[in-house]
Each structure stands twice: as structure tokens, then as C-alpha cells.
Amino acid sequence: MVDQTPATGAQRAAILLLTLGEQDAAEVLKHLSARDVQAVGSAMAALTGVTRQQVDKVLDKLIEDMHGQTALGVGTEDYIRKVLVNALGESKAGGLIDRILLGRSGKGLESLKWMESRSIAEMINQEHPQIIAIVLAHLEPDQAAEVLGYLPPRMRSDAVMRIATLDGVQPSALNELDEIMERQFNGNSKKLKSASVGGLKAAAEILNAMETSKETELMSAIRTQDETLGGRIEELMFVFEDLVDLDDRGMQVLLREVPSATLTTALKGADPSIREKIFANMSKRAADMLRDDLEVSGPVRLSEVDAAQKEVLATARKLADAGQLNLSAGGEEFV
């Protein structure tokens, strides 16, 4: 699209769905008619080079429409918050609420959530290591993991260790950092309300979102520098092998949400105990079909297995955020 303003409702819907991510967009599409799905799907396929300005216009239009739809004494922001929390769970909705309600007009740190990961890495790699850590802690775990992957290897372990040892940030310092970032965009200041960033759990979530090979390499580097800290981070991490600890009900809930092709790829080379746990929570017919699929399917690249396992874990965390199952790692609840 050349015009900065998305012309049709289908184009606006396509941009909005692309900002949500694959799983959440799929949930929205389930509630559309076949004709609407075709229109929005075609618009998504035709999108190229979507700019940040176009995204902002779409979100502004959404807020404007919500004002019109909720004029009967209902606060728009409260309405959006309640809808998103009910649909996605408190934890998952939190980041999306920030993007819609804060990110639509925000600059500075909030604006980073709309940037390409490589661009963020290029922007911050010359900053002080503590600033890099605070910026990464402020991003969503999957985005922070991507940014971390673009930083020089020597900086990665230091950044994660600093994130793990962050014990809150003074609001004045966070606002000052926000102003520094915002000057990169020549925008106006937006005071941040929360200084609750970083910590062991944040470090663990970022590592969980990384490719397994990079995650292993990074954990090894952290343990070399600080064995105790590395152990504390590792205790909070949740990996594919930990799915064996799910109770039967939780496993059944998870299996209903994972596509069969993804599950088959994820189980390639997986520990036999996990396979048996999954087979035990399926009907005999479904388990037999899965066994057959595993036997007849050809070799799969390790990168594809890793991606499939990450997808299963992402689904498990989403269900945990919604309170539909409990994940545990190292004896601690991971939600």
C-alpha cells in the first residue's frame, strides 16, 4: 500500500491482526464469517512494507470506533482492558493493552515495541550495559530474545545477568531513559507509571524465547561467570522436557490446542517419557495415528523441531496465563 492511510476495513483489520501475532489473530478469525476471513486474508497477503504510521492510524481508528460503540456511560479504556483480559488472560493481555492504550501515542521505550528487533539492537548496542538491560527488560520476552540475538555474543550474557539482578528501577531514572529513547524519534515525553522491570523471571522468560542452541550457549556463559545466578535463572526456566510434569488434565487441555503437525514435529527426537505422557492422554485411536505419523515421517531439521517445541511451549504458557493449566519448573509455579 502506497497511501499512508489504509483505505478499506479489510486492510485495517489485516494490519491489526498482524500486530496481534499468529495465535491471537487466529482466535479472532474464528469469529468471522467465511467471506470476512477471505477478505481479511487477501488483504493480509497483499500487505507489503507496512509503516509504523499506518499501524498508528489503524489503532487510532480502532480507539475512535470504540468511543462510538461505548458511548453509553462506558469508559473506552476500561472496556478494552476488560475485553482483552477476559479473552487472553491477565498476563498475556497486559502487553497487548500497553501496545493499544499506551503505544498508540507513546514515544520512548513504548515505541520500541513497534520497531524491528534488528533496529532496536543497532540503536542500543553502543549504550551502557545497564541501559541495554533495562531496555530489554521493558520489551516482551519474545521481542527481547530477538534483539538479544542481534547483539554481539560478548554482550548477551552480561545483559541477561543484569536483567536477572535488576531489583526495580527508580521512576526518575526510567523517565530519563524514556526521554533519551524518545529523542531518537523526536517525540514528546510520556511519563512511565511503572518501574517494575527485570528480575530473575524476566531473564528466564527471555531465555525461554530464544532458539535452543543460543539459549544453551548463553546459559553456559552465564554459569561460567556466576554459577549461583545461572542456577537461579535455570530454576525458573520452562523447557519442552518439563511438559512431562503436567498433570493429565493440563496435558489434555494443551493437546486440544496444538495442531497435530506441530506436535508430530515437536516429538521428533523427544525424550520417550514425554512421548508416553502424551500418548497416555490421547484416545487410543489418536495415539496410534500419532505413532504412525512419527514412524512414517522423514527426517526433520533440528531447527524445525526446535521451532515446533517453542510453539507448543508458547501455547502452554498462553493457557497457563488464562488459568487453564499450571506449569511448574524447578518446583516453582511458572505462570
Instruction: Outline where DSSP puts E strands in the chain.
Output: 328-329, 332-333
| Residue 36 neighbours by CB distance under 10 Å | 14
- At residue 78, the pLDDT reads 62
Query: Are 305 and 269 in contact, with CB atoms under 8 Å apart?
Result: yes
Residue 6: alpha-carbon gap to chain centroid: 26
DSSP 8-state symbol, 104: T
Question: Under DSSP, is residue 186 helix (H, G, I), strand (E, B) or coil?
Answer: coil
**240-333 and 110-236 share a CATH fold:** yes
Q: Which residues pair with 329 in a beta bridge?
A: 332
What is the residue extent of each domain of the chain? 9-80, 110-236, 240-333
- Which CA distances in Å does 92 have to 85, 88, 136, 171, 335? 8, 6, 18, 24, 10
Specify the pLDDT at position 162.
87
- β-strand 332-333 against 328-329: which pairing, if any? antiparallel
pLDDT tens sequence across 15-54: 888 777 777 777 777 777 666 777 777 777 777 777 777 7
pLDDT tens across 63-100, in order?
Answer: 666 555 544 444 555 666 666 666 656 655 555 555 55
Kindly report the pTM of this predicted structure.
0.47
At the second CATH level, the architecture of 110-236 is Orthogonal Bundle (1.10)
**Residue 121, pLDDT score:** 86
- pLDDT by 10s per residue, the chain, length 335: 444 555 577 788 888 887 777 777 777 777 776 667 777 777 777 777 777 777 777 777 766 665 555 444 445 556 666 666 666 566 555 555 555 554 444 456 666 766 778 888 888 888 888 888 888 887 888 888 888 888 888 888 888 888 888 776 665 666 666 666 666 554 443 444 444 567 888 888 888 778 777 888 888 888 888 888 888 887 777 778 888 888 899 999 999 999 988 999 999 878 889 999 999 999 999 999 999 988 888 888 888 888 888 888 888 878 887 788 877 544 344 33
> What whole-number distance in Å separates Cα of residue 207 and Cα of residue 201?
10
Q: What share of the chain has pLDDT > 90, as a percent?
A: 8
With pLDDT > 70 as the criterion, what percentage of the chain qualifies? 69
- Residue 84 is predicted with a pLDDT of 63
Topology (CATH level 3) of domain 240-333: Annexin V; domain 1 (1.10.220)
